[in-house]
Amino acid sequence: MIVQATCHGNDNTAILDAIASSPDSCKGIAMVDNTITENELEALDAGGVRGSRFSFARHLAGPPDFNTVHQITQKYAPLGWHAVLYLEAEDIVANAKELVKFPVPVVIDHMARVDVMDGVNQKAFQLLLDLVRNEDFWVKISGAERLSKTLYPFDDIVPFARALIEAAPDRIIWGTDWPHPNIDGQMPNDGDLVDMLALYAPHEETRNLIVVQNPARLYGFET
């Protein structure tokens, strides 16, 4: 799965080109705005796009504009797409009721950027667990290198990932976030991030769900 990076904005040329180089193996998540037309959405869909990403992380953008998200998702709901929300943990608390009103499935990116210092019992993370128990919500357990307050192996992230997996093992997906745009500090080793999967999900069957079966179902791959 190739996800449009925030730094590319709404120009999805690069991911469409990447998908076209291996159409049987790749799908994409685009970024679009509310000027997108039906024909443009259909062209993205034909090019292998299966959803759009909305970035509301404060270091990149302002607070969530869910009215715009509603407008855009209404446009592409007939295509069977989903929405990827990159937001802050505080946005989960402030908008918990609004988040369940979207007309498409929702993927919460990077574990909602929870503050690991506040622990798994913090309100934002407990609300995230409640959301992912809803069949219309998914969570991507990525971004350990961004969220952790320690160096690799980012042990402080493990309890959060495990709790999410326990809450909804069939709606958890994973990614390395390569090539790690807009990251502060040391660039992570992607092999190390892959190895963390065994810490998140010690059982092989669960790992198979996370990296094979769940994304195949979400993105429309044949298994």
Q: Are 88 and 113 in contact (CB under 8 A)?
A: yes
pLDDT grade for 62, boundaries at 50, 70 and 90 = confident
Above 80 in pLDDT, residue 59? no
150-207 tens-digit pLDDT: 999 999 999 999 999 999 999 999 999 898 887 877 899 999 999 999 999 999 999 9
- Residue-level pLDDT at 108: 98
State yes or no: is 177 an active-site residue. Answer: yes
Q: Which of 17, 177, 184, 192 is catalytic?
A: 177
For the 59-219 domain, the top CATH level (class) is alpha beta
88-97 tens-digit pLDDT: 999 999 999 9
How high does pLDDT run on average in the chain? 94
- Percent of the chain topping pLDDT 90: 86
5-54 tens-digit pLDDT: 877 889 999 999 999 999 889 999 999 999 999 999 999 999 999 999 99
Q: Where are the domains of the chain?
A: 59-219
